Every structure is written in structure tokens, then in C-alpha cells.
Amino acid sequence: MTQPTSLTDSLKEYAEAVPEAQRPDALHQLFYGFYSRIAILDRTTHELARWAKTDIAQIAGVEPVLAEALRDNALHVGRDLFASRMRTMTAMKLVSDQLSALCSADDHPPFTLARAVAFDEDAGELRSYDLASPGEHHDLPYNPFAYDPNAEEVAR
């Protein structure tokens, strides 16, 4: 077996390794697994921003030049986190496309995953949300059958 050469190939190989009857459920879990990665990235970005704004100034003995260098480095780390978030959203779109090719949102086998993890920015923490209760988190549940990272965000 050769190594997948792209994310698309890797996800296709993953899905094909799962028994056909279990693929929709496996893809549903993978979709929300990637969503949990976004939750971790969002929390990390939130913490990094807070640290850069407030905590750097509180480090004993840090001269202004070093504080500015720390803030610059935090900005670069933030850019890397954002790039990782974008790659994760691309993976979610690919999984969504695979899932919708297997079955429809109206006619699919039962999914075993009942909850998802998302970052609650107001509370500054990760929380678990019931996928059957839309509105608990403004983003959840995403539609794993028609996820589009390029769609405009609905105002909260």
C-alpha cells in the first residue's frame, strides 16, 4: 500500500477501509472530530491573544524590546493557527462531500455521535453540545452533508 499523496486521497483511503455499512457513521464522526480540532485551535488562538495583550506586560524583568518581540512571535504563531484552522475546514468540506455522496441528510443510517465539542468564546472554554439541540452553540450543529466553509456566517 502506498502513502496517500493528498488530503483527498487520504480521506478516500480512510473511508474505503471502513465497511460500507459503517461509512456514513464513520464519516459523521470524522467530520465532528475535525470540528473538535477547530475548537482546540479557536481556544488556543483566544488564549494566545489574551496572553499577548495582557500577560506579556506582567512578566518580571521583560524590557519593552523583548515584550515587542514576544508579541511579534505571538502574531506569527496566530497566523500558523489560522492556517491550520483553514486546512481543517477544507478537510471538513471533503468529509462532507464524501458523506453526502453516500447518503442524504433525510435518509441515512443512525449516527452514534450525539455530542460535539466547540469553543465557547464568551466563557473562554471548550464545551460539549448536543447535536440534536440546535442553538446551544451558534455554530452547531453544522450540516455534515452540506458543509461549506466559504458560506457567509449568519449573524449571531
Note the pLDDT of residue 156.
43
Cβ-based neighbours of 37, under 8 Å, separated by 6 or more: 88
- Residue in 120, 101, 130, 121 with CA at minimum distance from that of residue 32: 130
For residues 140 and 143, give the distance between their C-alpha atoms in angstroms, rounded to a whole number.
8
* Higher pLDDT pick, 118 / 155: 118
In the chain, domain spans: 20-130
Q: What is the pLDDT of residues 127-155, one digit of tens each?
A: 898 888 777 777 666 788 888 888 755 54
Is the pTM here over 0.75, yes or no? yes
- Residue in 91, 57, 89, 52 with CA at minimum distance from that of residue 72: 52
pLDDT at 106 over 90: no
For residues 32 and 6, give the distance between their C-alpha atoms in angstroms, rounded to a whole number.
20
